[in-house]
Amino acid sequence: MTDRRDFLKLASLSMLPLMDGMAAEAKQPKKYSGKVMVITGATSGIGEATARAFADQGADVYFCGRRKNLGEQVESSIKKKGGQAHYIQTDVRDEKQVDAFFSQIFKKTKKIDFAFLNAGIAPLPTPLHKTSTHDMQDIMNTNFYGVVYSMRKVLPSMMEQKSGVILISSSMGVRRVINWESIYSGSKMALNALIQHGAQEYRKYNIRCVGLEPVGVRTPMLERHAQFLKLPIEKLGNPATGRLIEPSEIADLVLNLCEGDNCRLINGMSLDLSEGGSNELIFFTKKSPSKTTS
């Protein structure tokens, strides 16, 4: 009995350094504790994954989207895991709703450290001559003007604190021709100009503007395209690698891009996230997409 007690005592003593290390690690502040992140279009897909990632790292996350039920579910899920999240139903096409979104944010916080302007739509592939004026305006109002409205609300706060990172969801369509999506691609090209000007005009305030050009991300939006084309969603993966990119991969990149000194050189550019496949041309047809190399 004595030998057994001695053994247990020695074993417990040997565990003390490990337990101390675990306790110290638990006490360390998370990467973005005390920071505020605002995300538009975060009720699903890339935006949702990014909201979860920043909440996991201690950020206070404010996000919007049109679908109230999904937004409330994401908020509740984040809070159950101990994160800070605030969903505010907003349609970024409506400038007054965007103003109201940010007014509610500034009632609760005096600053915004990071903004991920991700809200956007990608209509089903349609030839230009068959695209209605309503649909064209809807694309531009969501993908371009929704970002402009949001930037105008974010910038004064960042200018005052002399720091901030604005990330904007662009698209592979700015580098490659995608048949039947000319208006969508045009809306994203307009964003790339906005990113370049934003970086130059607000650099003196230590504000960075960076775009992201993902391709083949497993999202509800891509699923709708797959159904329209009557294809498995896997067929619409990254043309360079043939795989689907997970939303969490984009979220991890956003986490890293918001680091201050480590990413200072990344400003005024839109990052090609095609894993080296930016020279691929994708032609969608309703029967089957074919791929050629330029």
E strand spans, 66-186: 84-89, 114-117, 164-169
Measure the CA–CA gap between 46 and 50, rounded to whole angstroms: 6
> Among residues 273, 269, 116, which one has the least CA distance to residue 196?
269
Answer whether 244's CB lies under 8 Å from 237's CB.
Answer: yes
The reply to whether 62 belongs to the active site is: no
Which strands make up the sheet holding 36-40, listed edge to edge? 84-89, 60-65, 36-40, 114-117, 164-169, 207-213, 269-272
Answer whether 250's CB lies under 8 Å from 214's CB.
Answer: yes
> What type of residue sits at position 278?
S
Distances 159 to 68, 208, 263 between C-alpha atoms, Å:
31, 11, 19
Decide: residue 24, CB within 10 A, 0-12 exposed, 13-18 middle, 19+ buried. exposed
> What type of residue sits at position 13?
L
Measure the CA–CA gap between 138 and 126, rounded to whole angstroms: 14
CA angle 19, 24, 30 (to 5 degrees): 135
Which of 87, 145, 149, 184 is the catalytic position? 184
Residues catalogued as catalytic: 184
